[in-house]
Structure 1
Amino acid sequence: MASAGTTGTTVRPAGAPPHDRQSASAWPARARDWAEIQERMLVPLYGAVYDRLEVGPATSVLGLGCRSGLALLLAAERGAQVAGLEPHDELRELARDRRLRVGAGARPPVGVPRSAYSLVTVFEQLPGAADPRRVVAEAARLTLRSGHVVLAAWGPPERCESATVLDVARRMAGRATARDPFGLSTPGALEDLLAPARLRPAGSGRVSCPFAYPDLDSAVRGLLSTGLYDAAAEFSGLSLVAKELEEALHPYLRQDGSVRMENVFRYLVADQPR
């Protein structure tokens, strides 16, 4: 099993401008930025959930929308059997490079006979989902009886310093629909997704997940890799969005050139009735 350790940030070709992305659909570069810069920011969330549910050799974990698979690696290091589903080809290939079994969309991962899991996690998919209820229903369908589903979302915007930076996506999307990353942060919003999927709430928690970057360029690239800025990039152009992001990040720039924003994420554990 590959190590859960993350690599350093990618190196741009000599002479390339900091944000040389011609299109919001430049997925290979953005997928790599996610895996090498942004994904590690949520490690405290993954760890808190796995500690709470005592994830170990007796646990079978499915990551729904697992992206490049760091959360699955951390579960595998605890002895769990892991698999994932990820619709984006480039992210899925990065997960497979980590020797993870990850399928596309609703198709089961190659080589994994199981069709249901004792724990299904939705760590990253909900904030940008067009239909969160459908995502939760799919998670419930893939969960064993008496198993668990875990949903995660941003905490209250007043507890997240990244809120003003994420607002760039809304401001620059024009008439396009930009998903509100804090749409599921209001009290009871995650819980409201459970009943239609026939799930029962079984506890929740909040986790501090600072977003820390070695420099401003890494911060911009990492944030762009989340997908939350896609509509803004399509409407306003990626270069302009990157420039606005740089401006929004300046209050969080430290004397050594690093960037740090304190954030809180919330998770909700749900039971699949027997």
Structure 2
Amino acid sequence: MASVSVASGVANGPVPERTRARQRARDWAEIQERMLVPLYEAVYERLEVGPATSVLGLGCRSGLALLLAAGRGAEVVGLEPEAELRSLAQDRSLRVMSDVYRDLAPEGQAGTQPSAHSLVTAFEHLSCTADPLALVRDAARLTLPGGHVALATWGPPERCESAGVLRVARRLADPLRRAPYAPFALSEPGAVERMVARAGLRLGGGGRVLCPFAYPDLESAVRGLLSMGVFDAAADYSGLRQVEKEVVEALHPYRRGDGSVRMLNVFRYTVAERVR
């Protein structure tokens, strides 16, 4: 089995958590984030995002989705709890905050209800948050009446070639201490629709989007995938070296003759409207 030396420094000994976080954030921004551009664009096209749109991105990470909305003329702002990702987004001249009720409240009214937006998105955060219903309810509260919430999840596992790689995150995590990552828990028919109804939103349709995960080489593939954050619990429990080893093994069927790696994945988006 081929090996790979990932730029995490693990081969040279333990890496401080802050350094790992910075490297992971850079890998997300430089490698992984672009894989979801077809998803972002499909949502923006469907909802005709433009100069009349105010977009709030929940869990916006380093902000590429917001940049694309801004390129269409929309007013954009984001929420991102991870400091390293938030810093990268701010380096892109985006307004990205850490706390919705503290940082996005009207000026001088910290702790009160922040301003609402005509479109609230959760592109990456819904599938990995501990309480997805709470996230949808927050999105509903932050949406103007008549505005929309756009929620994204992985598609059916049989339509996602990355499913085998993601199973590494679940298998190597400590099931007694942290809930294993379950990326396809919301892929079941009706799962997102039920949350939409419970949050008081009106279902407005949705769609499926093909998002190939394509990398020039194996090292980039491992770095990109580990930057998603979904392998963190596995790395804490089983060690980063073991996680990298098993990710490499899981990627073997998707390596091409030129050394590149390509996996076809389907993502699903659901659009809901706040009616009052």
TM-score by length of 2: 0.90
RMSD of aligned residue pairs (Cα, Å):
2.1
Indicate the residue corresponding to 1:47 in structure 2.
41
**Are residues 1:125 and 2:120 paired?**
no
Contact 2:211 2:265 in 1 (8 A): yes
**Are residues 1:87 and 2:81 paired?**
yes
- 253-262 or 19-28, which moves further after superposition? 19-28
Aligned sequence identity (%): 65
AA aligned opposite 2:15:
Q
The alignment partner of 2:191 has SS state of coil
Unaligned runs of 5+ in 2: 1-5, 109-113
Superposed CA deviations along residues 114-153 of structure 1, whole A, max 9, x for unmatched, are 7110000000001111000010011111100100000000
Return the alpha-carbon distance in structure 2 between the equivalents of residues 216 and 22 of structure 1: 21
Return the alpha-carbon distance in structure 1 between the equivalents of residues 105 and 138 of structure 2: 19
Contact 1:103 1:110 in 2 (8 A): no
Offset at 1:22?
3.2
Indicate the residue corresponding to 1:249 in structure 2.
251
Return the alpha-carbon distance in structure 2 between the equivalents of residues 181 and 211 of structure 1: 16
Return the alpha-carbon distance in structure 1 between the equivalents of residues 165 and 47 of structure 2: 33
Offset at 1:108?
3.2
Return the alpha-carbon distance in structure 1 between the equivalents of residues 52 and 264 of structure 2: 34
Indicate the residue corresponding to 1:219 in structure 2.
221
**Are residues 1:56 and 2:58 paired?**
no
Return the alpha-carbon distance in structure 1 between the equivalents of residues 83 and 92 of structure 2: 14
| 1:237 aligns with one of 230, 239, 254 | 239
The alignment partner of 2:245 has SS state of helix
- 65-74 or 22-31, which moves further after superposition? 22-31
Offset at 1:173?
0.9
TM-score by length of 1: 0.90
Q: Give the count of matched residue pairs.
A: 262
Indicate the residue corresponding to 2:3 in structure 1.
none
Return the alpha-carbon distance in structure 1 between the equivalents of residues 14 and 56 of structure 2: 32
AA aligned opposite 2:130:
A
AA aligned opposite 1:236:
S
Unaligned runs of 5+ in 1: 1-10
The alignment partner of 1:127 has SS state of coil
AA aligned opposite 2:272:
A
Return the alpha-carbon distance in structure 1 between the equivalents of residues 92 and 106 of structure 2: 15
